[in-house]
Amino acid sequence: MVSLKDIAEKCNVSAATVSKALNGKEDIGKSTRDKIRRIAEEMGYLSNASARALKTNRTYNIGVLFIDQKEAGLAHEYFSKILESFKSHAEDKGYDITFINRTVGGMQSSYLKHCIYRSFDGVAIICADFTDPQIEELAESGIPAVTIDYTYPDCPSVISDNTKGLQELTNYALSRGHTRIAYIYGDDTEVTKKRLMGYYGSLYSAGIPIRDEYVVAGQFHDIDVAEAATKQLLSLKEPPTCIIFPDDYSYFGGRKAIFEAGLSIPNDISVIGYDGIQTAKIYGLTTYAQDTASLGTIACRKLIDAIEGNSYSNDCSIVSGSLFPGNTVAQI
- Cβ proximity of 199 and 244 under 8 Å: yes
Is 90 exceeded by the pLDDT of residue 298? Answer: yes
pLDDT tens digits for range 101-139: 876 656 677 888 888 888 899 999 988 888 889 989 988
- Cβ proximity of 243 and 182 under 8 Å: yes
The pLDDT of residue 140: 86
Q: Is beta strand 145-148 parallel, antiparallel or unpaired with respect to 157-160?
A: parallel
How far apart are alpha carbons 43 and 23 in whole angstroms?
Answer: 17
The pLDDT of residue 229: 97
What average pLDDT does the segment 200-205 reach?
Answer: 97
pLDDT tens digits for range 25-69: 778 888 898 898 889 888 877 555 444 554 556 788 999 998 866
The pLDDT of residue 217: 95
DSSP string, 108-120: E--HHHHHHHHT-
Residue with more model confidence, 200 or 187:
200
The pLDDT of residue 153: 82
Give the mean pLDDT of the chain: 88
What average pLDDT does the segment 260-282 reach?
Answer: 94
Query: Which of 20-24, 186-190, 224-228 is most confident?
Result: 224-228
How far apart are alpha carbons 250 and 275 in whole angstroms?
Answer: 11
For 61-159+292-319, which CATH class? alpha beta
Is 80 exceeded by the pLDDT of residue 301? Answer: yes
Classify domain 4-47 by CATH architecture: Orthogonal Bundle (1.10)
Looking at the DSSP bridge assignments, the partners of residue 17 are none
Share of the chain above pLDDT 90, in %: 56
3-state helix, strand, coil in the chain (%, to 5): 45, 15, 40
What average pLDDT does the segment 3-32 reach?
Answer: 85
pLDDT band at 228 (very low <50, low <70, confident <90, very high): very high
Q: What is the pTM of this model?
A: 0.79
- Cβ proximity of 21 and 33 under 8 Å: yes
Q: Is 162-290 in CATH node 3.40.50.2300?
A: yes
Per domain, the residue ranges of the chain are 4-47, 61-159+292-319, 162-290
Extract the runs of DSSP E, i.e. beta strands, from 143-205: 145-148, 157-160, 181-185
Lowest-confidence region among 5-19, 46-60, 156-170: 46-60
Extract the runs of DSSP E, i.e. beta strands, from 33-142: 61-66, 96-99, 103-104, 107-108, 122-127
Neighbours of 314 (CB within 10 A): 15
What average pLDDT does the segment 180-184 reach?
Answer: 98
What average pLDDT does the segment 214-232 reach?
Answer: 95
Is 60 exceeded by the pLDDT of residue 320? Answer: yes
Q: Do domains 61-159+292-319 and 162-290 have the same CATH topology?
A: yes
Is 90 exceeded by the pLDDT of residue 70? Answer: no
